[in-house]
Amino acid sequence: MLTRPLFGRHSTAMTPEEFQKFYPRLLGWIDTTLKAHAGNTQTVVSRGFPRLPLYFSADTLASAKVVLVDQLPIPPLSSWGLTRFVDFERGDFSGITYLNTFFIKRDELRNEAIHFHELIHVIQWRILGPEQFLRLYADGLERFGYSDSPLEVMAYDAEAAFMAEDIFDAEQLVAQKLS
Ligand SMILES: [Zn+2]
């Protein structure tokens, strides 16, 4: 018999065994996706946003990459049998980050705040590493839904502070929150 978690929209959380089963496939999909777009990447620093250097190191802005797309690449989780993430798969987002590369919709080309938000995810990926990032992200989605998942709350809160023109070290902030 399965027990219900205290909160959440789904009755059962993904087990560690299930995660281990899908993780290599997800990593493979990410690798293929990044290779397929390798010719279209630009470094974030090359985009010339004025405020990002106040929050992120020069190394981060020189190594993080952005790809402008019409349609965001989202892993086909339900076709792998992971139907519990169908809401996420159908979600209409402005951007998505895999490792140090993020994809944003072409019409958000000049939106500095979206670049800021995705850079927060780049730092999360870097600090946590792929396995832990994906485990926490999947767990947060399942338990709380997209907008209340902890890694998104962190990114949206930091983005709100960025919009409010607070100045802070965004990389340090993420490191503190994850520690
Ligand atoms: Zn996000």
What average pLDDT values come out for the chain (179 residues) when binned by 10 residues?
Answer: 45 79 95 97 97 98 98 92 84 92 96 98 98 94 92 98 97 97
Tell me the per-residue pLDDT of 85-101, one tens digit each, with 9 for 90 and over.
Answer: 888 888 878 999 999 99
Q: How far apart are CA 145 and CA 138, in angstroms?
A: 10
Do 43 and 62 contact (CB within 8 A), yes or no?
yes
Q: How far is the CA of 74 from the centre of ligand 1 (A)?
A: 13
Nearest to residue 161, comparing CAs of 60, 87, 62, 54?
54
Q: What single DSSP character describes residue 79?
A: G
How far does the centroid of ligand 1 lie from the alpha carbon of residue 167, in Å? 20
Centroid of ligand 1 to alpha carbon of 1 (angstroms): 34
pLDDT of residue 18: 86
Residue 109 CA to ligand 1 center (angstroms) comes to 16
pLDDT the model gives residue 3: 44
Rounded distance from Cα 155 to ligand 1 centre (Å): 6
What is the predicted pLDDT for the residue at 12? 64
Q: Please give the distance, rounded to the nearest whole angstrom, from the Cα atom of residue 2 to the centre of ligand 1.
A: 31
Long-range contacts of 111-116 (CB under 8 A, 24+ apart): 112/49, 112/50, 112/51, 112/52, 113/159, 113/162, 113/163, 115/44, 115/47, 115/49, 115/52, 115/66, 116/51, 116/52, 116/55, 116/158, 116/159, 116/162, 116/170
Under a CB-based contact definition with an 8 Å cutoff, are residues 162 and 55 in contact? yes
Distance 13 CA to ligand 1 centre (A): 21
Q: What is this structure's pTM?
A: 0.91
154 C-alpha to ligand 1 centroid (Å): 9
- Grouping H, G, I as helix, E, B as strand and the rest as coil, residue 103 is strand
Q: Are strands 65-69 and 101-105 parallel, antiparallel or unpaired?
A: parallel
- Locus of tokens 């985009």: 47
Cα of 85 vs centre of ligand 1, distance in Å, is 16
